[in-house]
Structure 1
């Protein structure tokens, strides 16, 4: 079975050029990633105008595996080939990597992309996807899959910290800004040219450790830099996948702590729903509840979500908050309503079931009316959860129902009433599962 990983969008609040300078410091070795032993440059080419650079590296990784497994496979290191395609004109870096070791038994493919934030040209986005297909591995397929995913998750978690670390190192050395690339033949004022040469000379000495010459890795000459402010306003369009991805900071703030694989499953389900719906997409907290209900199995969550979406369409639930008019008899006699929140900040609904005149309510509004009332309450609950999340600074993914049974007696066991209550419980359980 092929294991897939899709990351949410990671945002660095630094310009693309500074992030690239920090990224290049990961090579040829990176103590912050112990499994990354080193690399050698296989090829390194630049376009004539210096706007594009393609670098291919062979990376050496230490195998973190039990001693017995290491003896069986007979190696201490595995090798990956990484191809970096840097486009400084459009301010993007595309990375593709695949395993060279055991390629006939295991297929690992990874794609990463750095690009300018679409709404803030001084920020940089990062997205990542990978797949793992273990076809055969000496009978240790399951063990290798677990080891590989564990190691991969650990490396992903360190990724942002490493970029932040090297940006801090650059700042300590006085590098806080790098101008965007400009056309080589673009004129640069003489009084600014000297400063740019000084910046470039400094970067030659400190920027890129992946080459013996120490040249800065953006692949541009000193004349390529200018102080043109408008150049920093250029931002590439989002890829088709990144439109459906989530920011890691957003996830922690509004959805809570998730593992890397849980984040990946959420991104996958969100993209599938967006492609399917072509319109209104359920909230991320809703998608997360479906995933949790199915142990983060995307296929099972999709099936459950599809059934729920069809049910909601049948009962026109998406329109109920705007179109439902509460009957006067409900306003006067229905013993239930929203009342602040519980001790954990969740919206609280109080229902004095023992004081409810079930027979009278059914005669007044009918079964369909009671169903509409229940749906309206549940939709209000979802809306209040979102409001609570925004105001309280933490994820609120459920609401509380407090039922007061004082006064409950045999008259509440009227058969039509029990039937309707059962239907209401069914409707509520659908909403709760969302």
Structure 2
């Protein structure tokens, strides 16, 4: 608690620089990264992050000093050249974009390492710390760096705010954007420029190796929490800002711990939690949904089985034992017992001395399932020309997910049929 209080008070100017710089970098990168992810260009961010290294080295070789603005300019130029190279290779050859990205990334990064090695053996005293661009050194941020970060972050956020609707259209429906006359190519260039700019500014904090994680991870994590672009951008920015401050706190309490990698580690942890626990898209939520659907299908299959048993005897309302139900439709005994218990609690079946039978409400629900099954069988045979003896399995799967709207559409399309392909009566709606 004492460490947290000291961190929040931030009496040390360097702590303020590191914290604010990390927050600005993380939040602005996440906002731009949302559009990169939605445009399915996540790997491009990784390529740009590795391609800026030769630009940093060339700027140092030409100037002989570590002028932050010159280094940023050099990295921006090579970052842009890497994108041009990717587009050229993709459009002028048969090489796919992912292969082109791999080629450009490895070549540019290899050239950067070559230049960096040459600088280290040149004897130039100003080279000290230049290798920090590989892995970043947020703890070395000073007031001038904070001004640069603040200016670039403001530029990134203002650009997204002013062109939000246009970026949204380009990200989701480029064809429609062209149709209404938007300058799609120009907007793509602006988005690409913002991506390069976000990467270029971030390399001083987290380095070229980890910068793509700063760009992509928060956007990918935020996508699991919302279906709205505005919500995605907001969540990604807040998540990154919190992780930026958390990384600075870890570095403050344990000086041997680097800020940049810890920001990425915390971001990755939040991303994993999002993948697992997001309420609708998370893995746990999907597994629970699948479990509910399977149980619902099992209960509907039991209702349908009781109906078919009565139909085979031309008399509904009779009772049947679990053995008779199992002989008609194979299912695990424990699963059947649990499903029958739930059906009874819902008032769809009743249990007597001679077995299980459908209630009035259960009969209506069973007729609905059988009706959907036979309508779908008829559709498959008449419109998709599937043999009548091959449609049962498909109908078994689809009968549980057909909505009332689709049911009505099927009836209209089939001209309100009364029998399925096997000439079995289709139950009518009660």
User: What TM-score bracket applies, with the shorter chain setting the length?
Assistant: under 0.3
Larger strand percent: 1
Larger helix percent: 2
Of the two, which has the highest radius of gyration? 2
TM-score scaled by length of structure 1: 0.24
Q: Which has the higher contact order (CA 8 A, sep 6+)?
A: 2
TM-score scaled by length of structure 2: 0.24
